[in-house]
Structure 1
Amino acid sequence: MVLSGPHQSVRPSVLFGRGGSVRPSAFETLPLFWAPDASSGLRDLSSAVELATRLGLPVEPSKVEGPSTTLTFLGIEIDTVSRELRLPRDKLLRLKGIIEEWRVKATKKSSVTKHQLDVLVGLLSDAAQVVPAGRPFIRQLIDAKSELKRASHFTRLSPGCKADIFWWSAFMEEWNGTGLFPTRTIGPVITADASGSWGCGAFLEGPCFWFQVQWPSEWSQVNIAAKELFPLVVAIAIWGPQCKDSQICLNSDNQAVVSALATRSAKDPFLSHLLRSLFFFLAHYNISYRAQHIAGKRNRAADALSRNKLNEFLSVFPQAPKSPSPIPGSLLSMLLDIKLQWTSTHWKELFRASLERV
């Protein structure tokens, strides 16, 4: 267990159930104990209290919780039966109201205080414990408040802060406040590639799905990193139901794409737009991922798709079906339009349509 200071009391809590072997990362170093059943939980709790007493650390009995299959810890409801993490309803409603207020501020040249940013970042940090895909969209807000010394000091929202607020505003319209337990087991594997001239393609191992997309003429000058990321975004969008509630592996032979996925950020505006769209689908389907770089010579199947060499793809990947997975036109419109404003009304309409038709 980890203690905040020598004068604070220990607050051990015990959960038992199916989540015992996988702890949400936010709770890994805190006095929250997991056990396979109630009797084991009681034993672990007793040992923890005994150890704290021997070390001279006070234990507040009213703060000890469990064993239970459901409890609230650090403001997050944890349920080992349904394997869910939940933002309490009152906190969810408060967050939705505050996000709407900030959305209005972001559309104007409003100044905000460090204290206001502190409140917003705190609520979003809680939400991001439930939806890890939202974590990248707090960074700009944290940086903004860190530049202010006092709670009453003002600042104007940067374009990056506004983009983060718009991401959360759009996501909150769809979110019910729940997320499932993370898993350490790598599930489906998606491998993608893109060519600078013809197009891109990707395939999903296991169920054996694939697709390819030919670049429109206006994409002739789009940088190769954006082209390499594009098929991964499409893959998550159309195969999200098959990958739902799992950790997947994303394979790419482009190091810039792997780095952008690892850092969850990109300086290039269009690459950043694709990343934000990707995280919408990841959050919607409760998918986590591990990005992996593979050598180009090991990426023959996806490379063949990106160059429209279908016979070569089928020879390398013979178990693949003869027909590709369908891609909603609304999804392609949302991702291929390089002038489409992020989370604009039209963007949201296309996003919802892509979910309905996928």
Structure 2
Amino acid sequence: MLKLKYLINNVNLAEMLLGNWEYDEKSIDMFKYYRISSNAIYPFQVRGKTQFLRFSPKSEKYKENVLAELEFISFLRSEQYGALETVVSKSGEELIEVETPWGEYYASVFKCVSGVQISKTEFSDKVIFSHGKALGKLHKLSSVYNPAKNKRWSYRDVLDWIHDTLVDFPHEKSALMETKVLRDYFESIPINNSNFGLIHYDFECDNVFYDEVSQSCNVIDFDDAMYHWYVMDIEQTLESLQDFIPTEMFQLKKQIFLDGYRTEYNISDDMLSLLPACKRFANLYGYVRILRSADEHLENEPEWLESLREKLIKAMKNKSSCFGIEI
């Protein structure tokens, strides 16, 4: 999540960055449908077809991570996987670095994928099965993937980042303890090519689109990808599904999802035992990202930002409920 000061709509910045790509000038009106979280996303059109400008301050990203994300996407597409497609700039680059009046920024553009977000479907067995199948295929491809140039960070790097971030928050002793608990626990879990690799990390219902015509899924937003146990992706996905599926139906839908997954890739019941620890990893990572994001206060903050801050504080409380407890 970006620092809160970067969540404010800046149409002039978006238009300046978009100037590095072709676009339909009238489609700038679509900027009103922007969203900002871990990146700023602004829709626009090229010859009537929707694309998305994605940008973030350079201070908020590691360049190697961004380049590694784009390289992984290129690999997936070369294997006919349903991943979003990048669009090169006028200068022929997938990622540009731009000095602006608002600071230095990274920017990329992506084409719109086909289908409808799974979060907007009726969560039929067919859709859930396809969702699982798409994740299984992703992990199957990841298990044979070797980056040619850039490598994404790993869960160990994330825990190091969490530890270093908490240095600036000496009162966050329980979060620091949770970091140690998780590091010690994960160090005891065997790593091999079949259970560990580059994961999406955010394979939630808003980032996966079901295409009725092909009866398959298309995936966006690889921005949080990291090297982790594949079960981490399963945990995050199931957590997302729980937000949409009635409690009494969840176990059935969970099994359908896993059945779909196993048509492409095998996951043992032993590995599924990591689900609780993976949830705690996600909670800790989310907690510290919010902590860092919300730490800085702006003068005359708009009402919506004050309201968001309150929601984030509540989310932090929920995420920290198990901090420090032995796994």
Query: Scaled by the length of structure 1, what TM-score is found?
Result: 0.26
Larger RCO (CA under 8 A, 6+ residues apart):
2
Specify the structure having the higher radius of gyration (Cα).
1
TM-score by length of 2: 0.28
